[in-house]
Amino acid sequence: MFGRLLILGILFHLVYVKSIFDIYFVTPLAHGMGQYAAGQPPANRLFLIVGDGLRPDKLFQPHSESIVGKGQTYAAPFLRSIVLNNGTFGISHTRVPTESRPGHVALIAGFYEDVSAVTKGWKTNPVNFDSVFNQSRHTFSFGSEDILPMFSEGASDPARVDTFMYGPELEDFSSSGIVTDEWVFDKVDQLFEDSYKDRKLWDLLHQDKLVFFLHLLGIDTIGHNKHPDSIDYMQNIQYIDQGIKDLVEKVNRYYEDDNASAWVFTADHGMSDYGSHGDGAPENTRTPIIAWGAGLSGPTYEKGVGHDEYSAPWDLSSVKRVDIRQADVAALMSYLVGANFPVNSVGQIPLDFLNCTTKRKAEISLMNALAIGEQYNRKAFLKAKSSFHFRPYPPLKDYANSKQHILDLVENHIQRNNFKEGILASLEFSETALQGLRYLQRYDWFLLRSIVLIGYLSWISYVISFVFSNNTHPDMKQKNPISIFQRVIFNFPFLILSSFFYHQSSPLFYYAYALFPTIFVQLIYSDFPNVKMGYRKFIEDERISSGFSVYNLISIALYIFGLLQFVVYSYFHREGFSVFLIIFAAWPWFLHTDFCLLHKSLASTWSFLNISLCFFTLLPATKKESLPLIFLGGLVMITVGGSYTVYRKRQIYHLNSTVKNSHLSFQILILIMSFIVTLKLTDSLQRNVSVSPWLRMFAFFLLIASYVVPLSKVKACNHYYLDRLAVLFLMFAPTMCMLSISFEALFYVAFFLTIGLWIQVEAKLQEHMKLTMDNNGKKVKSKLGLTISHFRVSLFFYIFINIAFFGTGNIASLSSFALDSVKRLIPVFNPVMQGALLIYIIIIPFVALSAAFGIMNKRLGGIQRITFFMAIAMADFVTINFFYLVKDEGSWQDIGISISHFCISNLLILFISILEHAGAILSARVSYHCYGKIKAN
């Protein structure tokens, strides 16, 4: 039964994790729409220049001479002169995730990345979409192989988009990011030079509707490595500024038509002070936008208009600041070169950027609105084909009439010279169409969310029934037979829903969402006699041993439910987990005072460690590299390891253990050398000193060497449980030392000591309770019987899992993780290897928890399966909250975090399953006896 429950649970959660994408994030893409263009273009060619990871404040604000050079005040004097004299500027607001791929999709395709693309790839198009490049006559793109291919390989005619890409070896964190930008500028120069010798290329370069895309990755590379407040970051901005100035001059000389080129300079995302991005922090969502040249307006000299406290220090208040949404850039570029608006674009042309008459702006705005409306019309048509009784969005109930009405209305305004009214009418129609698209995306929400809720509740009920059923003696178990008629009744709702889904051509996953509750209900019904007996036995045992009643059980259930609701809060505010640790510290003193008075040292140490651990979740999730904290963390790990070696020499158990002092001494030596190498690597990178490849090779050697002795002895091991914990602690300590950038190593020590002591506290408490009941003449329950303590242990286990997740950062926020640590070992950008190292350091605390939980399970007499499934049920109560807290609008930081929270909580069953099996492995051949011959379990 245990195996069936586990397999069903894993399948259920793997299927249901997709539910939020089928409900909240239905793909916004549709195909088959008609296309619209804004008419006669003002420019023959467009240059889109993206400074990857560029923050507007660092671009525009004044800097000291020590940063930008003697006699200089600003990092980008040329771009600043454009803002003041030639173009329009502002801030382009991005959406979460603030990463390169979705940022470029919004800029060039005009829509915000399809969430379903997250699981389908990165470098190439995971979903087919239109783009400005696809609508151009020809596009020349230069830059990173991580970005360019997704726009060339997705083009309707791949020959229409030329890509010039450098290799990954140039993306070296240990060198200047300028090298990648230099490569791009050189390739653009070479393209123009080659045209003098290639007539075909010359003719192509002199056609209209051309787009040149320059992806400048250097700022992003430097930002990750040195952070945005570094001199290197400013130098990279200075280099780009000069490079753009030189390019503008070369283009003007080459074409000899200063007024036929349009220029757009922006960024895909910003960057935090810690050198990271990904979430919705303002530093990541604000990017600069500067546009000048053909068809683009010069500065509007309206002092202070559009400015706020953020842009006040830039000394640009004399010109108007025009803010836009990132997707608006694609619509702007389409107009400039006369291309069709990308069919999936939701951007609205920022009219303040245009240098044309108000009448022309009204005409452009109308075409833009009709292009967005066409998307609603197509999606409504497709939805109507597959629905029983389709209900269109009320304001667009008859789209043909609505379209004709807006056409007549705007044309009438234009004929009467009411251009502003025509623009407002077009914008209102655009917003209505966008709301209609959102209505269609939410069309089936109520039904699907109800099915998913029933699924989770039925799964939780099944888990609880398993727990009580497992409390029944095997010889007394019986089953409820299910007749054919009963099966028909149980499956009737599923058959009805399946018919509905089939008619709507729904995805296969919809059937699975409806199937799981049907399965769980039948399993609960079949096993109900055992559940009832197990529940009665539990209540009777608790009543005899401690005077427990059903009302006490209800009170405890409500108390646990309240704590689980607080877990939800803690996912959004990490400091909430500090409250749990304070409760853990106080728990034995309030509920088991006699035990604490009898074991004062043990109880006091337990409280001290939990209080120490609670400080880590009060610290900020994002952090900068700190050499003093790295030094302190390494020193503490060495001290703990050395102290245990000295301690065990005085204990009898070390005589019979296969762990020798020489083994521990070797591990401590590896840790000391890793500590020294880490300090050397960190110091060198902070001072911009070149790091020898031999030193990096030696660092890798130390990491591997730290695992050799423990793993080579694993088959012949026969450990006292403290030895096993010490071996594991010292095995992972070099990795924690080498990959820490702040307080991670200190957290590792505090967490390891706390869960290690948890074993002793639970074992001693169990012995104390047994002795107390013996002395009072009360019944002593079997170790395998269900007790109230199982609920508490499950809660502790579940909370410790979350502490491991959130102790050093915020798993739900990509900005919690910086590349400072992994660049010590892998200086060249390699997302697979670097991501693997980041994930590995996150996993290490869970390995420690697995070992402690497995050892405690054996020491307490095999409670693991009960606590395991109780923890899963608790996690799924939290998951239901996160399911309804998923956001698809509003703050884009909240949207990204809500997705992460649901996925983490939903997939905890996989994590807990792995922990359960890892605990069994890590606790194999472990004993708990200090004297005599050690007998391993």
Averaged over 382-404, what is the pLDDT?
88
> In DSSP terms, which residues pair with 634 in a beta bridge?
none
| Residue 222 is assigned to a structural domain of this protein | no
Distances (CA, A) of 649 to 184, 638, 658, 710, 863: 63, 17, 14, 19, 32
Edge-first strand order for the sheet with 286-293 is 161-166, 138-144, 210-216, 45-51, 261-266, 286-293, 88-93, 324-325
**How would DSSP label each residue in 707-733?**
HHHHHHTSTT--EEHHHHHHHHHHHHH
**Does residue 84 belong to any structural domain of this protein?**
no
pLDDT at 894: 62
- Same domain (yes/no): 652, 626: yes
CA-to-CA separations, 735 to 37, 88, 645, 704, in angstroms, rounded = 57, 50, 20, 9
Q: How much is the pLDDT for 931?
A: 43
Looking at per-residue pLDDT, the higher value among 639 and 772 belongs to 639
Give the whole-angstrom CA distance, residue 883 versus residue 20.
Answer: 7
- Of the candidates 678, 695, 685, 697, the residue with the CA atom closest to the CA atom of residue 739: 678
Q: Are residues 800 and 723 in the same domain?
A: yes
Q: In terms of Cα–Cα distance, which of 761, 903, 790, 916 is closest to 854? A: 916
- Lowest mean per-residue pLDDT among 151-160, 337-346, 374-383, 495-504: 151-160
Does 876 map to a domain? Answer: yes
Which of 548, 574, 595 marks a domain boundary?
548
One domain for residues 430 and 463? no
| pLDDT for residue 891 is more than 50 | no
Q: Which residues contact 685 (CB under 8 A, 6 or more apart)?
A: 174, 225, 691, 820, 823, 824
Instruction: Indicate whether 595 pLDDT > 50.
Output: yes
The confidence score (pLDDT) of residue 360 equals 94
**Degrees (nearest 5) of the Cα angle 895, 901, 903?**
105
pLDDT in tens, 224-250: 878 898 888 999 999 999 999 999 999
Per the domain annotation, does 81 fall within a domain? no
716 has a pLDDT exceeding 60 = no
What is the rounded average pLDDT of the residues 755-783? 74
d(CA 895, CA 260): 41
User: How would DSSP label each residue in 563-610?
Assistant: HHHHHHHHHHSTTHHHHHHHHHHHHHHHH-HHHHHHTHHHHHHHHHHH
- pLDDT higher than threshold 70 for residue 197: yes
Residue 178: pLDDT above 70? yes
Q: What is the structure's pLDDT at 23?
A: 80
> Which region holds residue 576: left if phi is over 0, alpha if psi is between -120 and 50, else beta?
alpha
- Of 425-439, 608-622, 858-872, give the lowest mean pLDDT range: 858-872
Q: How many Cβ atoms from other residues are within 10 Å of residue 117's Cβ?
A: 19
Q: How confident is the model at residue 517 (pLDDT cuts 50, 70, 90)?
A: very high
Looking at the structure, do residues 363 and 407 belong to the same domain, yes or no?
yes
Can you tell me the distance from the alpha carbon of 724 to that of 731, in angstroms, rounded to the nearest whole number?
11
- Which has more confidence, 401 or 691? 401
| pLDDT grade for 933, boundaries at 50, 70 and 90 | very low
Among 395, 415, 442, the domain boundary falls at 442
Asked whether the beta carbons of 230 and 686 are under 8 A apart, the reply is: no
C-alpha span between 749 and 92 (Å, rounded):
44
Q: Rounded distance, CA 325 to CA 307, Å? A: 16
Q: Which carries the bigger pLDDT value, residue 763 or residue 212?
A: 212
Neighbours of 203 (CB within 10 A): 10
How many CA atoms lie less than 13 Å away from 743 in the CB half-sphere?
19
pLDDT at site 119: 43
Look up residue 849 and give its two tokens: 């928890």
Instruction: Look at residue 509 and tell me if it is in a domain.
Output: yes
Q: Range with the lowest mean pLDDT among 129-133, 483-487, 533-537, 780-784?
A: 780-784
**Which residues, other chains included, contact 590 with Cβ-Cβ below 8 Å and sequence gap of 6+?**
none
Beta-carbon neighbour count of residue 68 at 10 Å?
20
User: Is the CB of residue 110 less than 8 Å from the CB of residue 345?
Assistant: yes
Residues 6+ apart with CB under 8 A from 129: 29, 105, 109, 111, 114, 154, 342, 344
Cα 86 to Cα 806: distance, rounded to the nearest angstrom? 49
44 three-state secondary structure: coil
**Tokens at 554, concatenated:** 């209800």
Tokens of 88: 């329009």
Query: Do residue 520 and residue 580 come from a single domain?
Result: no
Phi-psi region of 36 (alpha: psi -120 to 50; beta: other; left: phi over 0): beta
CA 727/CA 304 separation, integer angstroms: 64
What is the pLDDT at residue 20? 81
pLDDT at 932: 41
Three-class DSSP category at 233: helix
- Answer yes or no: do 621 and 485 share one domain: no
Please check the confidence at residue 122 and state whether its pLDDT lies above 50.
no
Say if residues 740 and 845 touch (Cβ distance below 8 Å).
no
pLDDT for position 287: 96
Pure H helices in 256-304: 282-285
Q: What angle do CA 162, 164, 169 make, to 5 degrees?
A: 155
Q: 860 and 908, same structural domain?
A: yes
Residue 632: inside a domain, yes or no?
Answer: yes
- What does the pLDDT read at residue 862? 58
In terms of domains, do 496 and 394 share one? no
Q: How many helices (H) and strands (E) would you count in the chain? A: 34, 10
Indicate the pLDDT class of residue 724, thresholds 50, 70 and 90.
confident
Q: Are 333 and 209 in contact (CB under 8 A)?
A: no
Query: Are the CB atoms for 394 and 336 separated by under 8 Å?
Result: no
> What residue numbers bound the domain in which 416 lies?
357-442
Residue 815 confidence (pLDDT)? 43
User: What is the rounded CA–CA span in Å between residue 905 and residue 884?
Assistant: 13
Give CA–CA dist 937/935, Å, rounded: 7
pLDDT at 444: 80
pLDDT class for 864, splitting at 50, 70, 90? low
* Stretch 490-496: mean pLDDT: 91
Per-residue pLDDT, averaged over 175-196, amounts to 91
Around Cβ 100, how many Cβ atoms within 10 Å? 22
Q: Distance from CA of residue 937 to its chain's centroid?
A: 40
The reply to whether 142 falls in a domain is: no
The reported pLDDT for the residue numbered 411 is 93
Across 246-250, 885-889, 927-931, which has the greatest mean pLDDT?
A: 246-250
908 and 834 co-located in one domain: yes
Average pLDDT over residues 449-473: 89
pLDDT of 221 above 80: yes
d(CA 494, CA 141): 52
Across the chain, what does the average pLDDT equal?
Answer: 84
Kindly report the number of other CB atoms within 10 A of residue 493's CB atom: 15
Residues 880 and 767 in one domain: yes
Banded pLDDT at 61 (limits 50, 70, 90): very high
Cβ(645)–Cβ(659) under 8 Å?
A: no
Residue 754 tokens, joined? 């706390």
Strand partners of residue 437: none
Calpha distance 301→321 (Å, rounded): 10
H/E element, 263: strand 261-266
Output the pLDDT for position 1: 61
- How much of the chain exceeds pLDDT 70, in percent? 87
Asked if 514 and 493 count as a contact pair (C-beta separation under 8 A), the reply is: yes
- Do 582 and 676 belong to one domain? yes
The reply to whether 658 and 528 lie within a common domain is no
CB within 8 A of 13, min separation 6: which ones? 906, 907, 909, 910
Please say which residue of 518, 548, 578 terminates a domain: 548
- The conformation of residue 814, written as its DSSP 8-state character, comes to G
Which of the pair, 115 or 806, is modelled with greater confidence?
806
- Please tell me the least confidently modeled range out of 363-367, 567-571, 818-822: 818-822
Burial class (CB in 10 A: 0-12, 13-18, 19+), 832: exposed
pLDDT of residue 117: 52
How much of the chain is helix, strand and coil, in % rounded to 5?
A: 65, 5, 30
pLDDT band at 376; cut points 50, 70, 90:
very high
Instruction: Give the pLDDT score at 778.
Output: 56
Q: Are 724 and 625 in contact (CB under 8 A)?
A: no
Mean pLDDT of 430-437: 91
How many Å apart are CA 872 and CA 797, to the nearest integer?
10
Asked if residue 283 is part of any domain, the answer here is no
* 425 backbone dihedrals φ, ψ, rounded to 5°: -65, -40
Confidence band (pLDDT; 50, 70, 90) for 934?
very low
pLDDT of residue 403: 94
Specify the number of domains making up the chain.
3
| φ, ψ of residue 887 in degrees (nearest 5) | -115, 140
